[in-house]
Chains A and B, each alone.
Chain A
């Protein structure tokens, strides 16, 4: 449930290296549905339990990584107010015309301190094949593969996450349930939300701008995380780590790379976040336990590899 004008991260555009193996992964292994195509180079997808038109656009490119993340805000009025607030914060804003992505209204875009392009929008059509609403069944077609229900969150790497965190609080009205600090008191990581989810997005401090560590999709439960592990093994996808448990967010999780090299997390559980709860604070020396509660150790690939 959104707790302010920013509803949720609703659209991510990711760069992929091919539309063969990679598209097969998103559709038949992760279990998203293809919604539409934009020209030759973009394909739009959504999770079976998402109402909005689509939530993930794959763009065929010659490098992997992130084009932008977009947040849905509560109303057209809120959108205009937020645009002014973004400008007042100091980021120049551009406009992406309605119809750039099928189903989506006008979007405003800008670049934050970490080098990531953020967008905001308020208008988006409901999907033709969304969840039922009248005496609804739990799904309309049997979920495929890993049975990803919806896009959940992303972890972004870039410089000056302290400013990015302040932006999310001051302009998006989000709150920060959990943080990790270096011994000298600087932010190493922050988990940020505008809802009861423990995170809608997270940042890790990193010298290179605009990097994505992973895109996370929501699964039903621990059994589905195990099912996802089976699909990883069956399809010879490259596992990074898991199934495991985060102490940070409390999520049940597994990380791996899709065929274009973008890291994907499938995730279940997590605590319920409230803005009035005290913030949980981690020392960087304890980050291993925070990230991977069972082993208590961070593997180097997890910290170092981003696209």
Chain B
């Protein structure tokens, strides 16, 4: 595991995969083949990839549609996984 690669744990499924810091979590999840892999637009618009970050740090690298993530939800760790990149190991959960 390189310096800029982080481990992503999926709470509900027990899945684990690696994600580079310059890679969207959804991209890495899809590449790894372990899910839950729900994806559509990969653009932050359709909301199908919504999950919750339970712990760990990340940055929102692309605008997440407010139709799917309200400001309160954003504070509570709800994310569109096609819009976030990890800055540390993450535990995420299906909603």
| Residue positions of A touching B, CB distance < 8 A | 17-18, 62-65, 238, 240, 257-263, 301, 304-307
Contact = CB atoms under 8 A, between A and B. Distances in A.
Contact of B43 (A17, A65, A304): A17
B65 interface: yes
Interface in B20-57: 39-46, 48
Given A64-B67, A261-B40, 16 more contacts: A17-B43, A17-B44, A17-B62, A17-B65, A62-B63, A62-B66, A65-B67, A240-B40, A257-B42, A260-B45, A261-B41, A261-B43, A262-B41, A262-B45, A263-B41, A301-B39
A63 B81 CA distance: 16
Contacts of A65: 45, 65, 67
A257 B67 contact: no
A257 B65 contact: no
Contact of A238 (B41, B66, B68): B41
Interface residues of B, number: 15
Contacts of B68: 63
Given A238-B41, A240-B40, A305-B40, A261 B66 contact: no
Nearest to A22: B43
A62 B41 contact: no
A64 B65 contact: yes
Contacts of A301: 39-40, 48
Given A304-B48, A305-B48, A238 B65 contact: no
Contacts, number: 70
Contacts of B44: 17, 64, 260-261
Interface of B: 39-46, 48, 62-63, 65-68
Contacts of B40: 238, 240, 257, 261, 301, 305
Max chain A CB contacts within 10 Å: which of B43, B62, B68? Answer: B43
A307 B66 CA distance: 11
A307 B67 CA distance: 9
A62 B43 CA distance: 13
Contacts of A307: 41, 45-46, 65, 67
B46 A63 contact: no
A232 to B, nearest CB: 12
Nearest to A60: B63
B82 to A, nearest CB: 9
Given A62-B65, A62-B66, A63-B66, A17 B45 contact: yes
Contacts of B67: 63-65, 307
A18 B63 contact: yes
B28 to A, nearest CB: 15
B42 to A, nearest CB: 4
The 7 closest A-B pairs by CB, nearest first: A261-B45, A64-B45, A261-B41, A261-B43, A257-B41, A63-B67, A305-B40
A21 to B, nearest CB: 9
Max chain B CB contacts within 10 Å: which of A261, A304, A307? Answer: A261
A305 to B, nearest CB: 4
14 contacts: A17-B45, A17-B62, A62-B66, A64-B41, A238-B39, A257-B40, A257-B42, A260-B44, A261-B45, A261-B65, A263-B41, A307-B45, A307-B65, A307-B67
Contacts of B45: 17, 63-65, 257, 260-262, 307
Given A261-B43, A305-B40, A63 B48 contact: no
Contacts of B48: 301, 304-305
